[in-house]
Amino acid sequence: MRRTATAMSVAAIALLAGGCGLMDRLSNGDKPAVALLPPAPLPEYAPGDTFIYRTGNQERREEVTALTSDTVAWTDDQGNIWTTAYDVVSPMISWQSDPELGRGRQNVISGAPADLFPLQSGRQVAFTVEGSSETMPAGWTMEQSCKVVDQAQVTVEAGVFNTFQISCQRSNHLETLYYSPVVQNYVLRVREYPFGTQRKELAAYSHADMPQQASIAPSAIPAAMAGGTPPELMTREEMQASLKRLEASVMRLEQQIMQMQAARAPGAPPAPVPPAATPPAAPATTGVNRPLPPRAVPPVPQAAAPGAPQPLAAQPTTPGVTQPQRPPAAPTTALPAPAAPGQENFGLHLGSYRALPAATRGWEVLLERYPDMLGRMKAVNSEFNAGDGRGSFIRLIASGYATNDQAVRACKELEAKRQFCKVVSLPAS
């Protein structure tokens, strides 16, 4: 307890001194009005850091659960568990389940994605990824490359952010990440496929180690010190860990101060016009990031046709939280009804798994993800041998349709939502 109090006192004093000094420097009228980001180091995570993203009408809450020296463990509100590296450009290291791949793992076998940091325009890396999974035990190898293209200001549901624009050429698509040093993560991810584009944007975030980021004041003297009892000293390892977290906190604070000062400086270019008007904002909180809603997140509409990221300009202060009503969802195309019992001639192959329990869980996940499309279907498990010594697998099939045309139509609807789907013939009853 005394170690914690001592560390918090040191952190508060350091933040106060660093923040005030930066304020004095930025108050100088000779400083440029445009807030250009300094090189950004690798993100610093802590268990409990939470990021809520929206992809189309789907919302996903991602949370840091554990850390090692080189990996970050994550979970989400759908029960998925996976690990990544600290840099935001490396592909997923491991995952526990996937509707098509099952459990899997990947490794970078050449190159170093983390060398992209500290982020600055023009910096680039190339690397090779090797991986395998339950349904693809033979594995795969992919060449990938990433480059910091420029700095850009983007508007997403969580607010307006100054970011580094990172372009990554993946195996089958181009991925653009807009990384915010303040958020310590990307605020927008755009994936361009041959058949279309997918946007994943930040709706809200919370840093577990900075609950009172804007309330910088000297900490109260610990009771132990007031009573004359010297505090227990931290070990060298504890001090180094505390200083590392403190440096990250100071960096986040400085980024916020620089952007707010630039927004108030004379001659600063105007910020982009936010999306359409929303109901009156709730009273602003003392934190510098948008307060995170409870786990049962109320529906928030996606910004209507948000503009493309703009050249970096002064970032305004974080707006107050609003809770607009979600507009009526666009009507979906009616799918053909499943065939009557005994007439199921065709089904939809949705994934393959090593074991029956994994296939059962995969069906449950798919039902939660596509209730309108699969709610009236029934799961059929078909075992097959992959050959080449790879063993047996369980094929998950949604049954069923009377005609091939009906099954193809349903499959195209699922493929449009990025779900693997293949029409298969069912054995006669």
Candidate ranges 22-26, 288-292, 333-337; pick with highest mean pLDDT:
333-337
Buried b (16+ CB within 10 A) or exposed e, 12-49: beebeebbeebeeebeeeeeeebbebeebebbbbeeeb
Establish if 40 belongs to a structural domain.
Answer: yes
Residue 258 and residue 196 in one domain: no
Residue 107 and residue 131 in one domain: yes
Establish if 289 belongs to a structural domain.
Answer: no
pLDDT tens readout for residues 369-405: 888 888 888 888 888 765 544 556 788 899 878 899 9
Give the closest residue to 308 by CA, choosing from 150, 147, 144. Answer: 150
Token pair belonging to 397? 């099939």
pLDDT at 229 over 70: no
Q: For position 106, what pLDDT does the model report? A: 94
Are 400 and 380 in contact by the 8 Å Cβ rule? The answer is yes
Comparing 247 with 148, the larger pLDDT belongs to 148
Q: Percent of the chain having pLDDT more than 70? A: 58
Residue 89 and residue 189 in one domain: yes
Sheet containing strand 346-353, strands side by side: 378-385, 392-401, 346-353, 422-425
Are 386 and 392 in contact by the 8 Å Cβ rule? The answer is yes
CA pair distance 82, 93, nearest whole angstrom: 7
pLDDT at 161 over 50: yes
Residue 149 and residue 243 in one domain: no
Establish if 1 belongs to a structural domain.
Answer: yes
Q: For position 254, what pLDDT does the model report? A: 64
CATH of the domain at 140: 2.40.360
Q: For position 270, what pLDDT does the model report? A: 39
The answer for residues whose C-beta is within 8 angstroms of residue 425's C-beta and 6 or more apart is 345, 346, 347
Domain count, the chain: 3
pLDDT tens readout for residues 256-301: 666 555 445 444 443 443 444 444 344 333 334 444 554 444 444 4
Residue at a domain's end among 158, 176, 206: 206
Q: For position 312, what pLDDT does the model report? A: 62
Establish if 291 belongs to a structural domain.
Answer: no
CA pair distance 152, 42, nearest whole angstrom: 19
Residue 101 and residue 188 in one domain: yes
Residue 131 and residue 51 in one domain: yes
Buried b (16+ CB within 10 A) or exposed e, 254-285: bbbbbbbbbbebeebeebbeebeeeeeeeeee
What average pLDDT score do residues 338-358 get?
Answer: 75
Residue 358 and residue 384 in one domain: yes
CA atoms within 13 A on the CB side of 339: 19
Q: For position 123, what pLDDT does the model report? A: 96
Would you tell me how many other CB atoms lie within 10 Å of the CB of residue 231? 15
CA pair distance 421, 415, nearest whole angstrom: 6
Establish if 326 belongs to a structural domain.
Answer: no
Q: For position 256, what pLDDT does the model report? A: 63
CATH of the domain at 367: 3.30.70.1070
CA pair distance 363, 321, nearest whole angstrom: 37
Are 157 and 183 in contact by the 8 Å Cβ rule? The answer is no
What's the pLDDT band for 352 if we cut at 50, 70, 90?
Answer: confident
Residue 266 and residue 398 in one domain: no
CA atoms within 13 A on the CB side of 95: 18
What average pLDDT score do residues 353-361 get?
Answer: 79
Residue 126 and residue 193 in one domain: yes
Residue 107 and residue 201 in one domain: yes
Give the closest residue to 188 by CA, choosing from 275, 320, 76, 306. Answer: 306
Residue 1 and residue 70 in one domain: no
Establish if 51 belongs to a structural domain.
Answer: yes
Supply the range of the domain harboring residue 412: 346-425
Would you tell me how many other CB atoms lie within 10 Å of the CB of residue 73? 18
What's the pLDDT band for 311 if we cut at 50, 70, 90?
Answer: low
Establish if 92 belongs to a structural domain.
Answer: yes
Establish if 119 belongs to a structural domain.
Answer: yes
pLDDT at 233 over 50: yes
Residue at a domain's end among 206, 231, 256: 206
Residue 202 and residue 53 in one domain: yes
Burial (CB count <10 Å: 0-12, 13-18, 19+), residue 336: middle
Comparing 100 with 175, the larger pLDDT belongs to 175
* Strand partners for 165: 150, 178
Q: For position 304, what pLDDT does the model report? A: 41
Q: For position 374, what pLDDT does the model report? A: 87
What average pLDDT score do residues 19-26 get?
Answer: 41
φ, ψ for residue 177, nearest 5 deg: -110, 140
Measure the CA angle with vertex 115, ends 192 and 247; round to 5°. 105
Instruction: Assess whether the previous peptide bond of 338 is cis (omega < 30° from 0).
Output: no
Q: Tell me, what amino acid is at 429?
A: S
Residue at a domain's end among 173, 206, 239: 206
